[in-house]
Structure 1
Amino acid sequence: MSTNQEEVQLLGALGSPFACRVQIALKWKGIEYKYVQEDLANKSDLLLIYNPVHKKVPVFVHNEKPISESLVILQYIDEVWKQNPILPSDPYQKSLARFWSKFIDDKIATPTLKAVYAFNDEKEREKNIEESTGALQILENELKDKFFGGEEIGFVDISAVFIAFWIPLFQDLIGLKWFTAEKYPKLYKWSQEFLNHPIVKENVPLRDPLFANFKARYDRAVSASK
């Protein structure tokens, strides 16, 4: 099934790992789309109309029908456009892929973000990093092949772009290292293979300008919290 730019839109924001997931999936499928950059400090009427519940990106719009939440969007894309599937065809394996992707969001992404923004609470930061590191170890044990999808990228790999790209960036931002090659050799090797995949490389942000942007915002937030 082909589509054109008028039929498919993605509302994203600078540096959003969740919008990045959708961009990778769309490129993987070869789907043309119009990208709409949102300023989350000044949300557009379009975003508020399309996602009135959470008021967040990403929002995927197909034939004027909006869909929110990145994992839901990935599943939708895979069901509508059959080429280059990202979910396994076997129902059990498909369920596992959904399970591990939600695990990444709940047990790694959420506590990592909480740790980053726990400016004045070292105990809170330590607690969340501990939760994230424990979950990373579980994921390390789960990785059996080159990618979670086997020899090619799949649903879990795309979901885990947060680990491969954003955790190292956040580590540099707050000056703490918890995701390293020594602690997680398989997961770290996976992250390098994943980021060097041509489709992934083309769709993750440029690291240096993004880091500078995050650092400026982070420093402002730290100053405001004092």
Structure 2
Amino acid sequence: MAEVKVVGSWASPYSASVEIALKLKGIEYEFIQEDLSNKSPLLLKYNPVHKKVPVLLHNGNPIPESLVILEYIDEVFPGTPILPKDPYQRAMARFWAKFFDDKFLPAVKKAVFTKGEEEKEKGKDEVCELLKILDNELKNKKFLGGETIGLADLAGNFITLWLGVFEEVIGVELGVTEEKFPHLCRWKEDFLNCGVIKNTFPPRDKLVAFNIKRFNPAAATASN
């Protein structure tokens, strides 16, 4: 059997997406936990450009960047497809995956982490507009990939758990409600209720505690 390892972090949505893809394919792997506050020589060796997790090691060959890894997993390993076979549908899956990386995550960072109130409000408005686009796209779909979880859903897994955690930890309300975004919220619930997701995602309370220490240490100290 091919040797597969994932250098990642239990608290990273990007690492989680790679683990989910491997589980969907039925591939056994070893998970190597990385301390992102003290990056290991292994991580710096295998991802010297970005110095980020995750990194997939397949027979000793490193593949960095989560979207690249997801496509590699789909090409190399048989089993449940992550990308559709139809060329147009494949292109659209890649489009939505890039939507999360290029549009949604930068807007969330502006809304959540910007200190200036004016810029923060601009970020919140951007997030709201992008959520409307996603909600409309999911109007007649179970998942972004169709009837099954695919590349775009894995790229957007941040919304299903991490977004709410950051709202709580930072104290920013982005208004992701069923009333405003019914299709998006239904997608979120369908995603979280999948067995492979439940077996991969960290407990919410553990993720909250981790990010309080990371982004709001004063609150973490006060609660001890």
TM score, norm. by length of structure 2: 0.92
- Which has the higher mean CA deviation after the structures are superposed, 108-117 or 167-176? 108-117
- Counterparts of residues 173-184 of structure 1 (less than 5 Å): 173-175=169-171, 176-184=173-181
Q: 2:75 aligns with which of 54, 79, 83?
A: 79
- Which has the higher mean CA deviation after the structures are superposed, 199-208 or 174-183? 174-183
Distance 1:140 1:198 in 2: 23
User: Residue 59 of structure 2 corresponds to which residue in structure 1?
Assistant: 63
Counterpart residue identity of residue 140, structure 1: D
User: Residue 93 of structure 1 corresponds to which residue in structure 2?
Assistant: 89
- Does residue 105 of the first structure (1) align with residue 101 of the second (2)? yes
Q: 1:202 aligns with which of 178, 199, 203?
A: 199
- Does residue 53 of the first structure (1) align with residue 17 of the second (2)? no
Moved over 3 A (4+): none
Q: 1:140 aligns with which of 135, 141, 145?
A: 135
Q: Report Cα offsets for 1:114-139 as digits up to 9, x if no partner.
A: 33222x31122222222222111111
Distance 1:113 1:30 in 2: 34
User: Residue 149 of structure 2 corresponds to which residue in structure 1?
Assistant: 153
Equivalent residues of 1:27, 1:199 under 8 A apart? yes
Distance 2:108 2:56 in 1: 25
Distance 2:65 2:130 in 1: 22
Distance 1:20 1:123 in 2: 33
- Which has the higher mean CA deviation after the structures are superposed, 50-59 or 108-117? 108-117
Counterpart residue identity of residue 12, structure 1: G
User: Residue 215 of structure 2 corresponds to which residue in structure 1?
Assistant: 218
Gaps of 5+ in 2: 220-224
Percent identity, aligned pairs only, is 52
How far has the Cα of 1:221 moved from its partner? 8.5
Gaps of 5+ in 1: none
The count of corresponding residues between Structure 1 and Structure 2 is: 218
Equivalent residues of 1:167, 1:179 under 8 A apart? no
Counterpart residue identity of residue 42, structure 2: L
TM score, norm. by length of structure 1: 0.91
